[in-house]
Chain A
Amino acid sequence: MTSVLKVDSIQNSAGTAAMTIDSSGRVFTPSKPMMSVRGVGNNALNSNAFASFMEITGWSTIDVNVGNCLQNGRFRVPVTGVYHLSVFSHKGTSTDYRWCGMYLYNGSTYTQLFSSYSFNDYDEYTLGTSFLKPLNANDEILVGWDNGYSNWNTSADNSSFTGYLVS
């Protein structure tokens, strides 16, 4: 016989809410670590990634920050798991070449996770991606541009960076 659990809320045994189920069967996970930010607020060269890597160190708009994942512009992993990550730059500050990339910093090493690149004939190519990545607690994800080419437009509707726990 199939076993069925009928419940409105599932908590850790310490009493912290992990999941709620409403009368329509919709499941909410209010403690799921997630972050969504937009708009370049601050940036700084980070030559530990590569010589002209301009890291975004602050965002002008914070839409979501569950679990305090946002740390100095980076997504800091709160618990080991598989995460969905994305970054997008929709516009540059000139029609020069433009680069968009993401790095993983594990406390000692910077590893490039992805890059995209556009030609020098137009300033509104969309650069970016999303993907899944197993990450360890305290890993940090950082994004930015190549300072040898066009900067990113800084407005909040022209760039975004997100991360959330999948499993």
Chain B
Amino acid sequence: MASIIGVETLQNPNGTTAATIDSSGRILTPARPNFRAIGTNNAFATTSPIPFPSVQHNIGSHFSTSSNEFTVPIAGIYSFHAHIGYIAIQSNAGNGQVDIRVNNVAKAYSYTNIPAASGYIPCSVSLLIQLAVNDVVKVQFNANGTASYYGGGVECQFSGYLVG
């Protein structure tokens, strides 16, 4: 016979809430590490690691605006996405590359190449990866030629969360 528990809150034995369940069966996990941070520079830039100085939410406070890095609080599988909505080549041909890096090693990248004299296209990348505690995740920008990214809040974003 299947065992069933009816409950509204699940806690660690020390009393920390891990999950709540509402009357529709929807589960909220308020302690799950997750964050989203965005740019504030409404101009083209080549700064790397890409800065995300405006934190929109930061459950567990694991994203740092001073280093622009997420430090893994607990080993597990994490999902990340870097949205760079607008990479421009100002003159001459060029290319730009956006990496998600773990401990400064590129684990995933997206690449743009604009063979024309000028142009612009987006360059975003996602990553699902198993990480260890204290691993550090950041977004790197690499440019050849005159490539640069637009650093505004809706064009430049970094987010991530613990999947499980």
Contact = CB atoms under 8 A, between A and B. Distances in A.
A108 interface: no
19 contacts: A7-B5, A11-B7, A11-B25, A18-B25, A18-B27, A31-B27, A32-B26, A118-B121, A119-B114, A121-B116, A126-B122, A128-B124, A129-B83, A129-B85, A130-B126, A131-B157, A132-B34, A165-B27, A166-B161
A17 interface: yes
Contact of A119 (B29, B120, B124): B120
A82 B26 contact: no
Contacts of A119: 114, 116, 119-121
A112 B154 contact: yes
B119 A116 contact: no
A5 B27 contact: no
B121 A6 contact: no
Given A10-B7, A82-B57, A114-B157, 8 more contacts: A5-B5, A11-B6, A115-B154, A117-B120, A118-B121, A129-B124, A133-B56, A165-B28
A12 B57 contact: no
A98 B102 CA distance: 33
Contacts of B155: 114-116
Interface string A10-48: 111111111100000001011111000000000000000
Contacts of A15: 6
Contacts of A116: 83, 85-86, 122, 124, 155
A132 B26 contact: no
Contacts of A32: 26-27
B24 A16 contact: yes
Contacts of B120: 117-119
A2 to B, nearest CB: 8
Interface residues of A, number: 51
A79 B26 contact: yes
Most buried by A among B5, B7, B126: B5
Contacts of A118: 120-122
A27 B29 CA distance: 14
A31 B44 CA distance: 43
A27 B157 CA distance: 30
Contact of B21 (A8, A11, A131): A11
Interface in B33-78: 34-36, 56-57, 59
Contacts of A81: 28
Contacts of A18: 21, 25-27
A110 interface: no
Contacts of B31: 167
